[in-house]
A and B are shown apart, each in its own frame.
Chain A
């Protein structure tokens, strides 16, 4: 019986008809032909497998006996053809389940293998893909599902014959791949008895079993793929190992040439693409990604090679490219009145977060370049500017945010006026009504360059040149808008890690754990992938944010997430002029605020949720970010050095709740914004009447009402639920409470505003599933884990106390 074959999502892409540009070698072409052929084969198989189902459906609706018989005959024929396509022709070889299969049409043979851990199949696929990219002869493989399991299929090497140690040692196919083997940590490349390399009919030597590479051992155990060292450069040359015997005598020059080849042929983008194509995700994918990328750098260091990064943009190109990218946001952001913004990675040593932002203010005839200097450089620059102010060329003005009549003077600034542009460097203070200077902490280090685009706007190239010159000449940033070099990035990572975890010194090699990621639209920061699991090990937790107005939910989702006050203001959104400016003064305005509840803290106290409350509940991996800080009480996110040193590191946050219990006024401040992609659920307090309906269904054992399951009905808005109850003739839900008492609640309003905004799904889920009821804050911990809130799980009977809590 042929097992069912399903296509992996990545394999459903249309089979390319032409060989893509960039595929040049004979070997790469062969690999391409194989992959396209194999995809076609699987596609046809899937189509064929669908036939019996279709015929079954036809048979059911067929009226007469003759038609039924014909359909049955067709069904059997389809089954026979399908089963005949791939036939198992031999049992497993090696330690993993599998066997040889033959395609009955093409007569091609494939060795199909199943690993206990499907990620090992993915790892083998990645390794084989990298060998192919490097032009090293290895088996060509593909992933697909068989019998509900991930399988790796490797095409037979025609005329394969076993080879011995000496033959392998004399083969350039084998020896020229040594650095690739150590790079991939393919410890078992040769095999215990030299059986993992075979000679094909074409005379080439092929690596045929590469399952013991990357983070896996041949027998399935895991191993470390170090990103900071390649010990295999020595260990795989030890003469007691088969590999050491085959690669014996390889020279430093030969290894250097091979390392050069690896660096030139395999880019970081290739690594990302292969991992993605393999379907490997999460922590495992990150280990492989970090390992492979780190090892490229190590190869460069070990052999004194220039590290071939992706082509760097010229500093003067940065602004023109950003201007082009701004256009992509016009349509999406028009509705939410937020000016488009593009972040560019630049100025490694002197700019906060190494990011410079370009904001489209063409509604006022301008483009703004806005960013913050690091404190040290800002202080230095301010001193120079103060001196220049006395001799002329620099004047004191203001940085003003807003548009139209809604404008706010943020801070006083040194101004340098040039033709068509004004450079403003924040003084960090503003005078109050009594003439006293008041700190504006959110404007510390701020630089705001206004470029007039007028009737005859500057050409993008000229603008790029001039902004770059401002960086080098006025802001005294060597390299200006250059992409930060590796050393600058490494130093920034170390500084960030020390700041974030409140350490005196960074642990060795810690920079490799940090990866720069886009965490809010156009905002990049360093992320410590998987760190959240360490926090979860201390105690499960949930991060959440109280929603001020449910009518704002569509706006938040459409704009891509929650944005800090400063982010909204600098992008022109001062819609509510009567908001307080206090958070700009304390420094809290640079952040989005959240609160966190831990399971261990909530043992002593859970404040519950009011029926009018609404919350965003975030994915726990939000804590992988390294740009947040916390207080155990409401400190308004202040950054005054007098108390900023008392902020909590992540471990202190958890420790504090463990020791002192849950304090619901705790706060975490996330820089710039939180992506809407991090929202796991939107939770609402449940009204008393509605909770009575839920109880009514449970107590009466009602599972279905007017043909709908009550679990589904309870997700509907109140008018729909009410109509269903009335249709079923239910009038009273409890003494003193009638169906007519059911009225619209906060969740109903949120559903309505989302529907009015044309949104029916969030992250692919119907809005009715995404907007959920909750009764207590510990429910958020369940929601963060994708589970049903504990207090909403069906119970036989709710106590009077629970009911009054729900009320």
Chain B
């Protein structure tokens, strides 16, 4: 399992609105796997489009196919623009480190 180096990713998928945030992103020869602040996600891929840790993307396979999924490292700007309104309790952040740490804390509450 190859792990991406980013701490938190913003996930974009034009055809799948069940994705938003990703931590602990990794992939092997079949699957891409991550933790989405609630639970473990795992998807079979048809092909890895881009393996760059700063812009990882894959095309989902076969029956599951819902197009391309792209992982972009989370930034304050991305959070404010695309993510803030989709989290449980929207918070304001002034620096990125606090933001990332807050996302990482979601692991502790994933029952």
Contact = CB atoms under 8 A, between A and B. Distances in A.
Contact of B91 (A546, A556, A578, A634): A578
Interface of B: 1, 17-21, 28, 30-31, 35-44, 63-64, 85-91, 102-103, 105-111
B103 A607 contact: no
Most buried by B among A556, A565, A586, A633: A633
B64 A580 contact: no
21 contacts: A406-B88, A548-B107, A551-B108, A568-B109, A575-B108, A576-B105, A576-B109, A577-B89, A577-B102, A578-B88, A579-B38, A580-B88, A581-B88, A582-B17, A582-B18, A582-B86, A636-B41, A663-B44, A664-B30, A665-B43, A665-B64
Given A407-B89, A578-B103, A665-B43, 20 more contacts: A402-B89, A408-B88, A433-B85, A548-B35, A548-B40, A548-B106, A549-B110, A577-B88, A577-B90, A577-B91, A577-B102, A578-B91, A579-B87, A586-B18, A607-B31, A610-B1, A634-B41, A636-B18, A638-B18, A665-B64
A586 to B, nearest CB: 6
B31 to A, nearest CB: 6
Contacts, number: 125
Nearest to A591: B39
Interface in A579-594: 579-583, 585-586, 588-589, 592-593
A605 B44 CA distance: 14
Given A578-B87, A582-B20, A664-B31, A552 B110 contact: yes
Contacts of B1: 610
Contacts of A582: 17-20, 36, 38, 86
A727 B30 CA distance: 44
B39 to A, nearest CB: 5
Contacts of B39: 546, 548, 583, 593
A574 B89 contact: yes
A580 B20 contact: yes
A549 to B, nearest CB: 4
Contact of B106 (A546, A576, A588, A635): A576
Contacts of A408: 88-89
Given A549-B108, A576-B106, A593-B39, A634 B64 contact: yes
A265 to B, nearest CB: 46
Contact of B21 (A580, A588, A593, A665): A580
A532 interface: no
Nearest to A561: B111
A546 B109 contact: no
Interface string A633-659: 111101000000000000000000000
B4 to A, nearest CB: 14
A578 B102 contact: yes
A580 B91 contact: no
A607 B1 CA distance: 10
Most buried by B among A581, A585, A634, A638: A634
B86 A581 contact: yes
A563 interface: yes
Contacts of A664: 30-31, 42
Contacts of A139: none
Contacts of A556: 111
A604 to B, nearest CB: 12
A642 B52 CA distance: 35
A562 interface: yes
A520 to B, nearest CB: 12
Interface string A602-634: 000101001000000000000000000000011
